[in-house]
Structures are given as structure tokens and as C-alpha cells.
Amino acid sequence: MPNPSLHSVPGDQAPMHLLLEADPSAEAIAGYLHDCHCVVARLGRTTVGVYLLKALTADTWELMNIAVASEHQGQGIGRLLLDHAITQSRLLGARRLELGTGSFGHQLTFYQRAGFRVVAVEPDYFLTHYPEPLFEHGLQHRDRLRLALTL
């Protein structure tokens, strides 16, 4: 399989169908998309992945969203995107990269393998911020973990 190429694109060209894979709220995405740096992964002309970075402060950035098309998962594209996001954060002057994720599931392990550590728990985040319950492997997401990586 050929390696994907990475491209910065304007937020209005972000692949919403992929962003919704990581964050099922179009309203929430619309609320942060305009303030983000957007990078997509392409195989030929097909967009297979995306990530969004947003400045929280001059030296702290947040990975708002990262997603890979389901048919291309497990091929290293997510790791390529995450590594690129970490590098881009450093280039943008960040000394810390943060993100929020559920309290269980493969995403948590994915981030921990890259060196992210849990720094806070937001109880009932998914219950209060999403109109519909979110489930993964039959378990309902309730709490959100805040993770951080010192750059």
C-alpha cells in the first residue's frame, strides 16, 4: 500500500464525514473548526484521514479531532497523523499538547503509546455535552479524560 501524503487545508475543506467519526456532534465541530489548523491524509485523490489543532494559549495547543476512515484503520495512518500533529504543535510554538477522549477504548491506548498522560477527569462530560448517549463496545461513555504531552 502506498504511503499517504499530508496536506494543510482550510477548515471549510475539512472532511466533515471523517470529523464526525471522532466527534459525533456537527454542532460541536462547527464551534471549533474555524479556529483550527487542519491537515488531511490522502491516498491519491482520496482523503483517508484528518486532524485539527487549535491554540488554547501561546504555548498550549489542543488536538481537537483526529480520524481515519474505517476502511483504512490499522494501517499506521492514525499514527502518522498524530506524529505530524505533535511535530506541527512544536513548530507552532507549543510546549504542551492536550486532548480530550473517552475514559476507555482503543483511543486511550493510542494516545498513551505516543506519550500522552492523563491530567484530569471531566465527570459526566459526554452526558452533558451530547444529546444522544455515546457507546463503544456496549459501554456508554460518561467521563472525558484530559491528556497532555509535554513537548
pLDDT reported for residue 104: 72
Strand-strand pairing, 60-68 and 139-140: unpaired
**C-alpha to C-alpha distance for 43 and 21, rounded to whole angstroms:** 19
SS3 label, residue 30: helix
Q: Looking at the domain 5-150, which fold is it?
A: Aminopeptidase (3.40.630)
pLDDT reported for residue 140: 78
Burial class (CB in 10 A: 0-12, 13-18, 19+), 70: exposed
**C-alpha to C-alpha distance for 77 and 92, rounded to whole angstroms:** 22
pTM score over 0.85: yes
Measure Cα distances from 112 to 8, 10, 73, 95, 147 in Å.
25, 29, 18, 18, 9
Can you give the residue ranges of every domain in the chain?
Answer: 5-150
pLDDT reported for residue 97: 98
pLDDT reported for residue 137: 74
- Cβ neighbours for 9, distance < 8 A, ≥ 6 positions apart: 38, 39, 40
Residue 64 parent element (H or E)? strand 60-68
pLDDT reported for residue 8: 97
Q: pLDDT tens per residue, the chain (151 residues)?
A: 568 999 999 999 999 999 998 888 899 899 999 999 999 999 999 999 999 999 999 999 999 999 999 999 999 999 999 999 999 999 999 999 999 988 677 888 999 999 999 999 888 877 787 778 777 778 777 888 899 999 9
